[in-house]
Amino acid sequence: MNPPTTVTALSTYRNQTPYPFCPGCGHHAILDRLNEALNDLHIDPNKVVLVSDIGCSGLSDQYFVTSAFHGLHGRSITYATGIKLQRPDLKVIVVMGDGGTGIGGAHLLNAARRNIGLTVLVFNNFNFGMTGGQHSTTTPSGAFTSTTPGGNLERPLDVCATVAANGAGYVWRGTSFDKDLSARIAEAVRSDSFALLDIWELCTAYFVPNNQASKKTLTTILDGLGLKAGLLHRAEYPEYAAAYRKATLPQRGLSLPAPRPISPVFESPLTRPFRLVVAGAAGGKVKSAARLLGEAALLSGLWAAQRDDYPITVMTGHSIAEIVLSPREIDYTAIDRPDAMILLSREGVAKVGAQLAAMRPEDRVFALPEVADVRTSAAVSVIDLARLPGSLGKGSTALYSIAWALKELGVLPIEALLAATARQGSQYAEKNAEAIRAANA
């Protein structure tokens, strides 16, 4: 997956274009420190992908000569995750504003939880610079922004504590003025874990004039919130992209799914489509019994379709299987009027009223004794469970009943159903065969 590389490090990772930010904007300093960190890392620019979020900070990638991705607001971490999963050898650095930590909060949290090896630089200026100084998830309580004219009523998000508590490997908080910022960025990029640097800085266009903020007040805010700066957290969790490859290694090269053709060895007298509905209850193995009938149809040279219906809460209520058997391709899989119906439970019967009502005298209904009182024009016969060995249990009733009905309907040979069971090769195969034989004894 990873082609061999020769490192072409640069003396600067900045291009010639001057930054576009307002005078005094903290983004300048952070990007200069990022450049120093890349220098320090002595890294091939092709091996770095700078993934920028949206906002003034989102413009950052354009001033670097590394590879870059500039996507949607709040989603930078998702693109970065995809890149890292595909190419774990690349250094993926995310630049996002405090705005991004809000709209993309779910991604931040889950990337930390996975400990995916990204370096996230949060350009935290306590407001949305680009859109006009609105409040963000990190705006301090009481702070004035264009959307909190009376002072912010919300508590700010502690980004560091959140990711640290949820699986991040490296968490640091500081300011754009900090001398060790470039060293910290380099340290974070070197670490193979999910690393986040919460970098406090000034938006000179909005947050500064609205709050008389300065380099000094950054400390006041920090103290006011009782937050700490510096390296806050280091942990050694397995990095996700590497862990994924390690965990899935045993599967490498295993054979992919291929068609599992069924050769016809039996014959069916059917000359037109035959539609059968099995109406039972959850846990009654209706689906798996119907599947065996479908495979028996293919073993008999027919085409089959099986459509299951059951509540989302799968362990309760009805379980219906609609099976179409046909001498030709099946282009319509619904059953409006069944040729035959197998009724196994009240829950099932409650769901098939319309189909029962559509049936005519030439159609057949096979019902367990407790549901044999249904109203339908079809001829109803009762399935006698007496022959079903008690040792097989309730789980065999559906298949037993299908075999019972098959014997009467003659749409395909019972041997085909037995052969389908044998093909299963599962732990149930023997029990299933016993149920089929019992119905035909």
Ligand X SMILES: Cc1ncc(C[n+]2csc(CCOP(=O)(O)OP(=O)(O)O)c2C)c(N)n1
Min dist. Cβ of residue 175 to ligand SF4 (A): 15
Residue 85: contacted member of other proteins, ligand SF4, ligand X, none (CB under 5 to 8 Å, by partner type): other proteins
Angle between helices 414-424 and 429-440 (to 10 degrees): 170
DSSP per position, 167-201 = T-SEEEEEETT-TTHHHHHHHHHHSSS-EEEEEE-
**Nearest in space to 33 (alpha carbons), one of 9, 60, 8:** 60
Min dist. Cβ of residue 46 to other proteins (A): 5
Residue 196: contacted member of ligand SF4, other proteins, Mg ion, none (CB under 5 to 8 Å, by partner type): none
For residue 169 the two structure tokens come to 């490997």
Interactions with ligand SF4, residue window 174-213 (CB under 6 A): 203-206
Q: Which residue, 60 or 175, has its beta carbon nearer to other proteins?
A: 60
The answer to whether 201 contacts Mg ion (rule: CB under 5 A) is no
Interactions with ligand SF4, residue window 225-244 (CB under 6 A): none
Site string for ligand SF4, 78-117 (x = CB under 6 A): ----------------------------------------
Give the whole-angstrom CA distance, residue 380 versus residue 361: 9
Min dist. Cβ of residue 105 to ligand SF4 (A): 20
Site string for ligand SF4, 120-149 (x = CB under 6 A): -----x---xx-------------------
**Contact call for residues 162 and 237 (beta carbons, < 8 A):** no
For residue 35 the two structure tokens come to 């450049």
Give the whole-angstrom CA distance, residue 405 versus residue 274: 13
For residue 380 the two structure tokens come to 């109803």
Min dist. Cβ of residue 326 to ligand X (A): 51
**Contact call for residues 426 and 292 (beta carbons, < 8 A):** no
Q: Which residue, 111 or 403, has its beta carbon nearer to ligand X?
A: 111
The residue with tokens 């060895």 is 265
Q: Which residue, 127 or 345, has its beta carbon nearer to ligand SF4?
A: 127
Min dist. Cβ of residue 25 to ligand SF4 (A): 3
**Nearest in space to 108 (alpha carbons), one of 135, 78, 83, 85:** 78
**Nearest in space to 61 (alpha carbons), one of 38, 87, 86, 89:** 38
Q: Which of 13, 27, 159, 421 binds ligand SF4 (CB under 6 A)?
A: 27
Interactions with ligand SF4, residue window 52-81 (CB under 6 A): 56
Residue 312: contacted member of ligand X, other proteins, Mg ion, none (CB under 5 to 8 Å, by partner type): other proteins
Which residues fall within 8 angstroms of residue 387, CB to CB, at 6 or more apart? 438, 439, 441
Min dist. Cβ of residue 56 to ligand X (A): 4
Give the whole-angstrom CA distance, residue 74 versus residue 120: 12
Give the whole-angstrom CA distance, residue 133 versus residue 40: 34
Site string for Mg ion, 57-96 (x = CB under 5 A): ----------------------------------------
Positions touching Mg ion (CB under 5 A) are 97-98, 125
